Protein backbone atom coordinates (compact mmCIF):
# COMPACT_ATOMS: atom_id res chain seq x y z
CA UNK A 1 0.00 0.00 0.00
CA UNK A 2 1.69 3.18 -1.11
CA UNK A 3 -1.24 5.53 -0.54
CA UNK A 4 0.15 8.43 1.51
CA UNK A 5 -3.06 9.10 3.48
CA UNK A 6 -2.97 5.55 4.88
CA UNK A 7 0.67 5.86 5.91
CA UNK A 8 -0.09 9.21 7.53
CA UNK A 9 -3.79 9.75 8.23
CA UNK A 10 -3.15 13.40 9.19
CA UNK A 11 -1.67 14.32 5.83
CA UNK A 12 -4.88 15.84 4.56
CA UNK A 13 -3.14 17.34 1.54
CA UNK A 14 -2.82 13.82 0.17
CA UNK A 15 -6.59 13.34 0.08
CA UNK A 16 -8.40 15.10 -2.75
CA UNK A 17 -11.38 17.24 -1.70
CA UNK A 18 -14.37 14.93 -2.32
CA UNK A 19 -16.75 17.68 -3.43
CA UNK A 20 -14.20 19.84 -5.26
CA UNK A 21 -15.03 22.75 -2.99
CA UNK A 22 -13.05 24.30 -0.13
CA UNK A 23 -13.61 22.75 3.30
CA UNK A 24 -15.10 26.01 4.65
CA UNK A 25 -17.79 25.85 2.00
CA UNK A 26 -18.50 22.21 2.86
CA UNK A 27 -18.77 23.32 6.49
CA UNK A 28 -21.31 25.99 5.58
CA UNK A 29 -23.35 23.44 3.61
CA UNK A 30 -23.35 21.09 6.61
CA UNK A 31 -24.48 23.95 8.84
CA UNK A 32 -27.24 24.81 6.37
CA UNK A 33 -28.47 21.22 6.26
CA UNK A 34 -28.56 20.97 10.06
CA UNK A 35 -30.31 24.34 10.28
CA UNK A 36 -32.77 23.13 7.62
CA UNK A 37 -33.70 20.28 9.94
CA UNK A 38 -34.32 22.75 12.78
CA UNK A 39 -36.52 24.96 10.61
CA UNK A 40 -38.14 21.89 9.03
CA UNK A 41 -39.14 20.57 12.46
CA UNK A 42 -40.56 23.96 13.46
CA UNK A 43 -42.47 24.35 10.19
CA UNK A 44 -43.89 20.83 10.47
CA UNK A 45 -44.91 21.50 14.08
CA UNK A 46 -46.57 24.75 12.99
CA UNK A 47 -48.41 22.99 10.14
CA UNK A 48 -49.47 20.20 12.51
CA UNK A 49 -50.98 22.71 14.94
CA UNK A 50 -52.51 24.75 12.11
CA UNK A 51 -54.31 21.79 10.55
CA UNK A 52 -55.13 20.16 13.86
CA UNK A 53 -56.81 23.20 15.42
CA UNK A 54 -60.35 24.03 14.30
CA UNK A 55 -60.20 27.44 15.98
CA UNK A 56 -56.93 28.64 14.51
CA UNK A 57 -56.89 32.46 14.45
CA UNK A 58 -56.93 34.39 11.16
CA UNK A 59 -55.31 37.65 12.26
CA UNK A 60 -53.82 38.71 8.92
CA UNK A 61 -56.06 40.87 6.73
CA UNK A 62 -55.66 40.57 2.98
CA UNK A 63 -55.26 44.35 2.94
CA UNK A 64 -52.54 45.67 5.22
CA UNK A 65 -51.01 42.59 6.93
CA UNK A 66 -50.69 40.40 3.85
CA UNK A 67 -49.46 43.37 1.80
CA UNK A 68 -46.78 43.93 4.45
CA UNK A 69 -45.77 40.24 4.37
CA UNK A 70 -45.70 40.27 0.53
CA UNK A 71 -43.45 43.36 0.54
CA UNK A 72 -41.21 41.60 3.09
CA UNK A 73 -41.02 38.61 0.73
CA UNK A 74 -40.08 40.78 -2.26
CA UNK A 75 -37.45 42.60 -0.15
CA UNK A 76 -35.86 39.33 0.97
CA UNK A 77 -35.85 37.75 -2.51
CA UNK A 78 -34.31 40.97 -3.87
CA UNK A 79 -31.64 40.80 -1.17
CA UNK A 80 -30.72 37.31 -2.44
CA UNK A 81 -30.30 38.76 -5.93
CA UNK A 82 -28.10 41.57 -4.60
CA UNK A 83 -26.05 38.93 -2.74
CA UNK A 84 -25.57 37.10 -6.05
CA UNK A 85 -24.43 40.49 -7.43
CA UNK A 86 -21.81 40.68 -4.66
CA UNK A 87 -20.58 37.15 -5.46
CA UNK A 88 -20.30 37.81 -9.20
CA UNK A 89 -18.48 41.11 -8.55
CA UNK A 90 -16.10 39.34 -6.15
CA UNK A 91 -15.34 36.73 -8.82
CA UNK A 92 -14.38 39.59 -11.17
CA UNK A 93 -12.26 40.92 -8.28
CA UNK A 94 -14.20 44.17 -8.53
CA UNK A 95 -14.09 44.85 -4.80
CA UNK A 96 -15.72 48.28 -5.04
CA UNK A 97 -18.87 46.81 -6.57
CA UNK A 98 -18.68 43.85 -4.18
CA UNK A 99 -18.87 46.28 -1.27
CA UNK A 100 -21.79 48.16 -2.85
CA UNK A 101 -23.77 44.95 -3.49
CA UNK A 102 -23.04 43.74 0.05
CA UNK A 103 -24.22 47.04 1.53
CA UNK A 104 -27.36 46.87 -0.62
CA UNK A 105 -27.99 43.37 0.78
CA UNK A 106 -27.48 44.65 4.33
CA UNK A 107 -29.91 47.54 3.68
CA UNK A 108 -32.54 45.14 2.34
CA UNK A 109 -32.00 42.82 5.33
CA UNK A 110 -32.46 45.72 7.74
CA UNK A 111 -35.60 46.80 5.85
CA UNK A 112 -36.98 43.28 6.17
CA UNK A 113 -36.25 43.25 9.91
CA UNK A 114 -37.90 46.66 10.42
CA UNK A 115 -41.04 45.56 8.54
CA UNK A 116 -41.13 42.37 10.57
CA UNK A 117 -40.74 44.14 13.90
CA UNK A 118 -43.43 46.65 12.87
CA UNK A 119 -45.78 43.75 12.32
CA UNK A 120 -44.80 42.14 15.63
CA UNK A 121 -45.54 45.35 17.53
CA UNK A 122 -48.89 45.61 15.73
CA UNK A 123 -49.73 42.13 17.01
CA UNK A 124 -48.61 43.01 20.53
CA UNK A 125 -50.96 46.00 20.30
CA UNK A 126 -53.84 43.66 19.37
CA UNK A 127 -53.19 41.58 22.48
CA UNK A 128 -51.22 38.65 21.06
CA UNK A 129 -48.78 37.22 23.55
CA UNK A 130 -46.65 34.09 23.65
CA UNK A 131 -49.37 31.97 25.29
CA UNK A 132 -52.56 33.88 24.65
CA UNK A 133 -54.41 35.82 21.99
CA UNK A 134 -57.88 37.33 21.74
CA UNK A 135 -59.06 35.12 18.84
CA UNK A 136 -58.73 31.38 19.40
CA UNK A 137 -56.18 28.62 19.94
CA UNK A 138 -53.79 29.97 22.63
CA UNK A 139 -50.80 28.15 21.12
CA UNK A 140 -50.94 30.45 18.07
CA UNK A 141 -48.73 33.04 19.80
CA UNK A 142 -46.03 30.51 20.71
CA UNK A 143 -46.07 28.97 17.22
CA UNK A 144 -46.04 32.33 15.43
CA UNK A 145 -43.42 34.08 17.57
CA UNK A 146 -41.29 30.92 17.84
CA UNK A 147 -41.05 30.39 14.10
CA UNK A 148 -40.79 34.00 12.96
CA UNK A 149 -38.52 34.80 15.93
CA UNK A 150 -36.04 32.11 14.91
CA UNK A 151 -36.09 33.47 11.38
CA UNK A 152 -35.57 37.10 12.39
CA UNK A 153 -32.69 35.89 14.59
CA UNK A 154 -31.11 34.38 11.47
CA UNK A 155 -31.70 37.61 9.51
CA UNK A 156 -30.04 39.64 12.29
CA UNK A 157 -27.12 37.21 12.41
CA UNK A 158 -26.87 37.42 8.60
CA UNK A 159 -26.75 41.22 8.63
CA UNK A 160 -23.92 41.13 11.21
CA UNK A 161 -22.10 38.44 9.17
CA UNK A 162 -22.38 40.54 5.99
CA UNK A 163 -21.09 43.64 7.79
CA UNK A 164 -18.05 41.59 8.90
CA UNK A 165 -17.58 40.48 5.27
CA UNK A 166 -17.75 44.15 4.15
CA UNK A 167 -15.04 45.00 6.68
CA UNK A 168 -12.90 42.10 5.45
CA UNK A 169 -13.37 43.22 1.83
CA UNK A 170 -12.27 46.73 2.79
CA UNK A 171 -9.21 45.29 4.56
CA UNK A 172 -8.52 43.03 1.52
CA UNK A 173 -8.54 39.99 3.78
CA UNK A 174 -11.18 37.94 1.98
CA UNK A 175 -11.42 36.27 -1.42
CA UNK A 176 -14.37 35.58 -3.68
CA UNK A 177 -14.88 32.24 -2.01
CA UNK A 178 -15.46 33.89 1.37
CA UNK A 179 -18.13 36.16 -0.15
CA UNK A 180 -19.76 33.12 -1.76
CA UNK A 181 -19.91 31.28 1.59
CA UNK A 182 -21.62 34.32 3.17
CA UNK A 183 -24.01 34.29 0.21
CA UNK A 184 -24.90 30.66 0.92
CA UNK A 185 -26.01 31.59 4.42
CA UNK A 186 -27.95 34.65 3.30
CA UNK A 187 -29.82 32.84 0.52
CA UNK A 188 -30.69 30.07 2.97
CA UNK A 189 -32.46 32.66 5.13
CA UNK A 190 -34.42 33.61 2.01
CA UNK A 191 -35.16 29.95 1.26
CA UNK A 192 -36.71 29.42 4.71
CA UNK A 193 -38.97 32.44 4.19
CA UNK A 194 -40.36 30.76 1.04
CA UNK A 195 -42.13 28.37 3.45
CA UNK A 196 -42.93 30.80 6.28
CA UNK A 197 -44.75 33.30 4.04
CA UNK A 198 -47.41 30.89 2.72
CA UNK A 199 -47.72 28.75 5.85
CA UNK A 200 -47.85 31.45 8.50
CA UNK A 201 -49.36 34.39 6.65
CA UNK A 202 -51.39 33.17 3.66
CA UNK A 203 -52.91 30.26 5.57
CA UNK A 204 -54.04 32.55 8.40
CA UNK A 205 -55.39 35.37 6.25
CA UNK A 206 -58.95 36.64 6.44
CA UNK B 1 -11.01 24.25 -6.77
CA UNK B 2 -14.69 25.04 -6.78
CA UNK B 3 -16.84 23.88 -9.63
CA UNK B 4 -19.25 26.72 -8.97
CA UNK B 5 -20.40 28.69 -12.01
CA UNK B 6 -17.82 31.07 -13.33
CA UNK B 7 -20.53 33.35 -14.67
CA UNK B 8 -19.55 36.80 -13.47
CA UNK B 9 -22.76 38.51 -14.61
CA UNK B 10 -25.90 38.99 -12.57
CA UNK B 11 -28.14 38.98 -15.66
CA UNK B 12 -28.94 35.24 -15.76
CA UNK B 13 -30.12 35.37 -12.15
CA UNK B 14 -32.63 38.19 -12.74
CA UNK B 15 -34.91 35.70 -14.51
CA UNK B 16 -34.79 33.44 -11.44
CA UNK B 17 -35.65 36.46 -9.26
CA UNK B 18 -38.71 37.15 -11.43
CA UNK B 19 -39.66 33.48 -11.24
CA UNK B 20 -39.50 33.36 -7.43
CA UNK B 21 -41.50 36.59 -7.11
CA UNK B 22 -44.08 35.24 -9.58
CA UNK B 23 -44.48 32.02 -7.57
CA UNK B 24 -45.08 34.05 -4.41
CA UNK B 25 -47.71 36.15 -6.19
CA UNK B 26 -49.39 32.95 -7.45
CA UNK B 27 -49.44 31.74 -3.84
CA UNK B 28 -51.14 34.99 -2.84
CA UNK B 29 -53.71 34.57 -5.63
CA UNK B 30 -54.41 30.94 -4.64
CA UNK B 31 -54.86 31.96 -0.99
CA UNK B 32 -57.57 34.43 -1.99
CA UNK B 33 -59.41 31.80 -4.06
CA UNK B 34 -59.08 28.50 -2.22
CA UNK B 35 -61.11 28.24 1.00
CA UNK B 36 -60.55 24.61 2.02
CA UNK B 37 -57.66 24.61 4.50
CA UNK B 38 -56.11 21.24 3.68
CA UNK B 39 -56.18 21.74 -0.09
CA UNK B 40 -54.78 25.26 0.35
CA UNK B 41 -51.98 23.88 2.52
CA UNK B 42 -50.87 21.29 -0.03
CA UNK B 43 -51.07 23.70 -3.00
CA UNK B 44 -49.10 26.38 -1.14
CA UNK B 45 -46.44 23.94 0.03
CA UNK B 46 -46.02 22.56 -3.51
CA UNK B 47 -45.48 26.12 -4.82
CA UNK B 48 -43.13 26.90 -1.90
CA UNK B 49 -41.05 23.81 -2.75
CA UNK B 50 -40.64 25.05 -6.34
CA UNK B 51 -39.60 28.53 -5.11
CA UNK B 52 -37.18 27.04 -2.57
CA UNK B 53 -35.76 24.76 -5.26
CA UNK B 54 -35.07 27.76 -7.50
CA UNK B 55 -33.35 29.62 -4.65
CA UNK B 56 -31.22 26.59 -3.77
CA UNK B 57 -30.32 25.70 -7.37
CA UNK B 58 -29.48 29.19 -8.65
CA UNK B 59 -28.97 31.70 -5.83
CA UNK B 60 -27.11 29.11 -3.71
CA UNK B 61 -25.39 27.76 -6.84
CA UNK B 62 -26.18 24.12 -5.99
CA UNK B 63 -26.97 23.52 -9.67
CA UNK B 64 -23.33 24.22 -10.51
CA UNK B 65 -21.76 22.04 -7.81
CA UNK B 66 -20.60 18.46 -8.22
CA UNK B 67 -23.40 15.95 -8.17
CA UNK B 68 -21.85 14.04 -5.26
CA UNK B 69 -22.27 17.13 -3.03
CA UNK B 70 -25.98 17.23 -3.88
CA UNK B 71 -26.32 13.48 -3.35
CA UNK B 72 -24.57 13.71 0.01
CA UNK B 73 -26.69 16.55 1.36
CA UNK B 74 -30.20 16.49 -0.06
CA UNK B 75 -31.34 12.84 0.35
CA UNK B 76 -30.26 12.84 4.02
CA UNK B 77 -32.20 16.07 4.62
CA UNK B 78 -35.28 14.76 2.83
CA UNK B 79 -35.13 11.51 4.80
CA UNK B 80 -35.03 13.32 8.15
CA UNK B 81 -37.87 15.64 7.14
CA UNK B 82 -39.92 12.73 5.80
CA UNK B 83 -39.52 10.86 9.10
CA UNK B 84 -40.84 13.98 10.86
CA UNK B 85 -43.73 14.38 8.44
CA UNK B 86 -44.69 10.74 9.01
CA UNK B 87 -46.78 11.73 12.04
CA UNK B 88 -48.56 14.41 10.06
CA UNK B 89 -51.86 12.56 9.36
CA UNK B 90 -52.41 12.69 13.11
CA UNK B 91 -53.22 16.40 12.76
CA UNK B 92 -56.32 15.50 10.74
CA UNK B 93 -57.36 12.89 13.31
CA UNK B 94 -56.92 15.41 16.14
CA UNK B 95 -59.06 17.89 14.27
CA UNK B 96 -61.89 15.38 13.81
CA UNK B 97 -61.72 14.34 17.45
CA UNK B 98 -62.21 17.93 18.56
CA UNK B 99 -65.64 18.48 20.16
CA UNK B 100 -66.20 21.61 18.06
CA UNK B 101 -65.42 19.88 14.75
CA UNK B 102 -68.12 20.30 12.14
CA UNK B 103 -68.08 18.33 8.88
CA UNK B 104 -68.07 20.48 5.75
CA UNK B 105 -71.55 21.79 4.89
CA UNK B 106 -73.01 21.66 8.41
CA UNK B 107 -73.75 24.75 10.46
CA UNK B 108 -71.79 25.08 13.71
CA UNK B 109 -73.80 23.96 16.71
CA UNK B 110 -74.95 26.67 19.11
CA UNK B 111 -75.56 24.15 21.89
CA UNK B 112 -72.84 23.88 24.55
CA UNK B 113 -70.91 20.63 24.28
Domains of chain A, CATH where assigned? 24-204 (1.20.120.80)
Contact list in B for residue A19 (CB cut-off 8 A) is 65-66, 68-69, 72
Picking from B10, B21, B53 by the largest number of A CB atoms within 10 A of its own CB, the best residue to mutate is B10
CA atoms in the 13 A half-sphere facing the CB of B45 = 12
Average pLDDT, chain A: 90
Instruction: Report CB contact under 8 Å: B68, A44.
Output: no
Which pLDDT score, from 0 to 100, does residue A11 have? Answer: 56
- Tell me the shortest Cα–Cα distance from A132 to chain B, in angstroms: 19
HEC-encoded secondary structure of chain A: CCCHHHHCCCCHHHCCCCCCCCHHHHHHHHHHHHHHHHHHHHHHHHHHHHHHCCCCCCCECCCHHHHHHHHHHHHHHHHHHHHHHHHHHHHCCCHHHHHHHHHHHHHHHHHHHHHHHHHHHHHHHCCCECCECCCCCCHHHHHHHHHHHHHHHHHHHHHHHHHHHHHHHHCCCCCHHHHHHHHHHHHHHHHHHHHHHHHHHHHHEC
- Examine the pLDDT at B93 and tell me if it is beyond 80: no
ipTM: 0.88
Query: What are the backbone dihedrals phi and psi of residue A132, each rounded to the nearest 5 degrees, phi first?
Result: -155, 155
pLDDT value, residue A9 = 57
Whether B47 sits inside 8 A of A198 (CB atoms) is yes
A199 interfacial to chain B (CB closer than 8 Å): yes
Out of B47, B59, B95, whose CB is closest to A84? B59
Given a cut of 80, whether residue B44 has pLDDT beyond it is yes
The alpha carbon of residue A17 and the mean position of all alpha carbons in its chain are separated, in whole angstroms, by 28
Amino acid sequence: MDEPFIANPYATHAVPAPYAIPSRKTGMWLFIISDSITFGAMLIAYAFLRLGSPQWPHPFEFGSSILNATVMTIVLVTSSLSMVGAITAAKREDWGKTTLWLLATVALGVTFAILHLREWFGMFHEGVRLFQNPWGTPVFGAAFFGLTGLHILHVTGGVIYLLVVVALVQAKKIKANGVEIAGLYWCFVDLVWMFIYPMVYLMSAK
Amino acid sequence: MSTTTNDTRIGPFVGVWFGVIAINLVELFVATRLAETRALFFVLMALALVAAGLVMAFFMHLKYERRNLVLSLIPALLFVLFMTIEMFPDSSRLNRMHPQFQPVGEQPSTQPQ
